[in-house]
Structure 1
Amino acid sequence: MDIAVEGLSVAYAGRAVVSGVHLIAAAGEIAGLVGPNGSGKSSVLRTVYRHLRPAAGRVLVDGRDVWDLTPVQAARRVAALPQERTSDFELTVGDIVMMGRTPYKGPFSGEDATDRAVVAGVLERVGMGDARNRPFSALSGGERQRVLLARALAQDPEVLVLDEPTNHLDVLHQVELLALLREQRRTTLVSLHDLNAAASVCDRLHVLHRGRVVASGAPREVLTPELLREVFGVRAAVLDHPLTGDPLIAFDHHAPSPLTRGATP
């Protein structure tokens, strides 16, 4: 199942934050959204999982506009891990993940053996298999992130939408989460601040800057020193990763930051 965002524009309080965005994720492909803070990444993703209605343009999932689907139809196709955190702190981990089964339940039907098996399976896959009965409120930030990913996977979606999924994760769990995304081979849209992680996990990158897509393509084609300087304001070299062969971005941490250049001490 593929995703196509066509001519997307988003506005808040009459101010355009995304204008004329076109991007795609082919079936089974991981497409990354990268860009500076405020470039519009989260706004684009919110339109895909129907949290924010676009001012113009369309979001197509397998050729159908997500806004023409019923909520249940949309939830069976698209699952999201947004940046906004759940407020269901009194629930257990199992309760949180079981919410992912809601699109498959009738109004008065309870959980069944299939639901329980799905929940147990996705918790194992995110490394939280022994936490089902723990209070969600007792978890660390990284553990909560993994539980919320499990909830998205419990929906058994055809499309995953992830907004900064590695936030709050230590290095080991970042690596494990990105490996899990690769193993899934579900059509995925993911925003990432870590450009090296994006270069490693994504088949395609879309670079947003000031609400517009300024570059799209394979990571090696997109992440050039020129683009990194113009969009992110940093001096960097793009090398080959010695272990994986992926593009590896080496930043010049001695160069003045655009935020501090010219500032008086």
Structure 2
Amino acid sequence: MRIDIEDLHLGYAGRTVVAGARLVAAQGEITGLVGPNGSGKSTLLRAVYRHLRPAAGRVLLAGTDLRELSPARSARHIAALPQERGDDFELTVGEVVAMGRTPYKRAFAGEDATDRDTVARALADVGMAGHAGRRFAALSGGERQRVLLARAFAQSPDVLVLDEPTNHLDVRHQVELLALLRAQRRTTLVSLHDINAAASVCDRLHVLHAGTVVASGPPREVLTPALLAEVFGVRAAVVEHPLTGDPLIAVDHRAPADGPSAGGRGQG
């Protein structure tokens, strides 16, 4: 399923955070949101998984305004892994992942064979098979992240909405998670701090700056030295990754884009 965001305005307590955002997450593609802290990435994603009501504009799921769908119906199509999530669950890993089956269950309905198979498959997908009986609260940060991703998979969604899913993961598990997202081939809308990860895994990027989408397109077209200087404030060269051929952003960590050794904003 495709997500269309049309002229979206979002904010808190009278303060506008996202202004007039327009973007598309095409069916079966991984669409990335990148931008500096405070640019509006998480706020925009909250509107997609219905934790924040737009002040104006709309979010469309396969052409239907999300506000026209019941929460249960939208939850059968869209699963989210937000940044803000409780870490004090007094539940087992299996119980946490089974929460992803809630949109398909009637009140007080018990777990059936389909639910059990789906939960087991989701745990296996994230490398947590055999851990269903562990207490969620006793897991490491990276393990919790993978379990929560398994919960999203257990919803069997058409669309995944992921806010910084590689947080707390070591390098190997970051690579495994991003490879898993590509293998899933679900419509995915994901925010990432790591620009190189975004350039590698995403089919299309939308760059946010001060609540506005300032660039959209394939990573190779969007991630230019001029944009990196203007939006992120860094001096960088964009070269070809020697192993994958993806764009590779080499940042000068000695000085910001407007520093004395930068040679001018947008250079490099």
Tell me the equivalent position of 2:66: 66
| Pairwise CA distance, 1:86 | 2.5
- Structure 1 distance, partners of 2:258, 2:84, is 29
> In 2, Cα distance between the equivalents of 1:17 and 1:72?
28
2:107 aligned residue: 107
Provide the rounded CA distance (Å) in 2 between the counterparts of 1:60 and 1:241.
36
Q: Partner of 1:139 in structure 2?
A: 139
**Number of aligned residue pairs:** 261
Following superposition, the deviation at residue 64 of structure 1 comes to 0.7
Name the amino acid aligned to 2:142.
Answer: G
Alpha-carbon separation, structure 2, partners of 1:11 and 1:170: 33
Kindly state the Cα deviation for residue 130 of structure 1 after the two structures are TM-superposed. Answer: 1.4
Unaligned runs of 5+ in 2: 262-268
Aligned to 2:170: 170
Say if 2:235 and 2:257, in contact at 8 Å, map to a contact too: no
Match of 1:9 in 2: 9
**SS in structure 2 opposite 1:42?**
helix
Pairing 1:197-212 to 2, within 5 Å after superposition = 197-212=197-212
Note the alpha carbon deviations across 1:83-133, whole angstroms, 9 max, x for none: 012245210000000000001111121001110010000100000001100
Deviation at 1:256, TM superposition (A): 4.1
Counterpart-to-counterpart distance in 1, 2:18 and 2:130:
42
Q: Counterpart in 2 of 1:218?
A: 218
Q: What amino acid maps onto 1:44 in structure 2? A: L
Aligned counterpart, 2:245: 245
After TM superposition, the score normalised by the length of structure 2 is 0.95
Quick one: distance in 2 between partners of 1:256 and 1:164?
24
Query: Quick one: which amino acid aligns to residue 117 of structure 2?
Result: A
Q: What amino acid does structure 2 have at the position aligned with 1:222?
A: V
Aligned counterpart, 2:75: 75
Structure-1 residue corresponding to 2:40: 40
State how far apart, in whole Å, the 2-side matches of 1:104 and 1:11 are.
Answer: 32
Structure-2 separation of matches of 1:91 and 1:258 = 50
Specify the alignment match of 2:233 in structure 1. 233
Question: What is the CA–CA distance in structure 1 between the aligned matches of 2:83 and 2:173, rounded to whole Å?
Answer: 17
* Superposed displacement of residue 255, structure 1: 1.6
Match of 2:97 in 1: 97
> Does structure 1 retain, via aligned residues, the 8 Å contact 2:39–2:210?
yes
C-alpha separation in 2, matches of 1:38 and 1:207: 12
1:125 partner letter:
D
- Residues of 1 paired with 2:245 and 2:256: CA distance? 29
Following TM superposition, by how much is the alpha carbon of 1:257 offset from its aligned partner in structure 2, in angstroms?
7.2
Distance 2:249 2:32 in 1: 16
- Structure 1: which 5+ residue stretches go unaligned? none
- Asked if 1:185 corresponds to 2:182, the answer is no
- Tell me the equivalent position of 1:118: 118
CA deviations on 1:23-62 (whole Å, 9 max, x unpaired) are: 0011101000000000000000000000000100000010
Shift of 1:196: 0.2
CA–CA distance in structure 1, aligned partners of residues 138 and 131 of structure 2: 10
Cα RMSD (Å) of the superposition? 1.4
Q: Aligned partners of 2:24, 2:41: CA distance in 1, in Å?
A: 14
- Which residue type is aligned with residue 132 of structure 1? A
Q: For 1:68 and 1:206, locate their aligned partners in 2 and report how far apart those are by CA, in whole Å.
A: 26
Aligned residues of 2:126 and 2:150 also touching (Cα < 8 A): yes
CA–CA distance in structure 1, aligned partners of residues 57 and 106 of structure 2: 33
CA, structure 1 residues 258+109, in 2 after alignment: closer, same or farther (shift >3 Å)? farther
User: TM-score scaled by structure 1?
Assistant: 0.96
Q: Residue 254 of structure 2 aligns to a residue in which SS?
A: coil
AA at the equivalent of 2:32: G
Q: Which amino acid aligns with 1:18?
A: V
Task: Give runs of aligned pairs for residues 10-25 of structure 1, distance below 5 A.
Answer: 10-25=10-25
Return 203-212 or 106-115, whichever deviates more. Answer: 106-115
Superposed displacement of residue 66, structure 1: 1.1
